[in-house]
Amino acid sequence: MQAKDRLIVALDVDTREEAIEIVRAVGDYCGLFKVGMQLHNNAGFSVTEEIMAMGYPVFLDLKFHDIPNTVGKAASVVSRRGVKMFTVHASGGADMLCKAVQGANSSGNSPVVLAVTVLTSVSQQVLNDEIGLAGPVEDHVVRFARLAQQAGVTGVVASPREIEPIRQACGNDFVIVTPGVRPVWAGGDDQARVMTPAEAIAAGASYLVVGRPITAAPDQAAAAQRIVEEMAEGLARRSHNRR
């Protein structure tokens, strides 16, 4: 895959009109578009179908987390609708993850199923003091990644800081989709565990999710191109390091 194909642009906006404007502006400079809860809950599934009808794959990021049977049926529904990727929470457990995979495969489309490990907004302090889980963030992320892989899940969503330990635990074929990516020329916003696009790709990320550095830029297409160039630099670094 080229660097462009690894870029997922997050459509974290309220309306169908805003989303389609972004798609038209940067569609030539990315591989997929992410539709999350903000846009989906306001515009419905029709915006996802419209984006796919324009020829662009969609990563549907609704983070299913419920009893196994419910998640399995939801996975079957979104898979039949033709999305390229969708998310479930790894903390739902092995049975729920297995049902998600079964639901996805029942459609015949076999989308990429991604388990969310630990949200990139969760710092070490929040994990320990507020959520009440002892130990380093990295340990929990790797444990969730192993659980997901054993359940047949295609990959995970994880912070760039955990890419290398996930690769060590789950191998090179496991898909890692990485939010928490901020180029040096953009602010950190509400992400706690971040890297630049070049760093994240060099570390082994399969895909990067980038939102505001592109969607809030005065020239969205130029911002996307700039990030793709940084990603290409990271791919070159990764290739060099494997020699």
Binding-site residue numbers for substrate are 12, 34, 61-70, 120, 182, 191, 211-212
Q: 4, 5, 66, 73: which one is catalytic? A: 66
Q: 4, 14, 28, 63: which one is catalytic? A: 63
Report d(CA 45, CA 78) in Å as an integer: 9
Cβ neighbours around 10 below 10 Å, total: 23
- Amino acid identity at 63: K
Which residues are documented as binding site? Answer: 12, 34, 61-70, 120, 182, 191, 211-212
Q: 4, 5, 28, 61: which one is catalytic? A: 61
| Residue with tokens 């971040």, as numbered in its chain | 194
- Sequence-ordered strand ranges (E) for 39-174: 58-64, 85-89, 112-116, 155-157
- Amino acid identity at 199: E
CB 158 within 8 A of CB 118: yes
CB 17 within 8 A of CB 217: no
Which tokens is 154 given? 């295609």
Active site residue 66: yes
Active site residue 63: yes
**Per-residue DSSP letter, 64:** E
- Amino acid identity at 84: K
Q: What dihedral angle (degrees, nearest 10) is formed by the CA atoms of 228, 168, 171, 32?
A: -20
- Kindly list the catalytic residues: 61, 63, 66
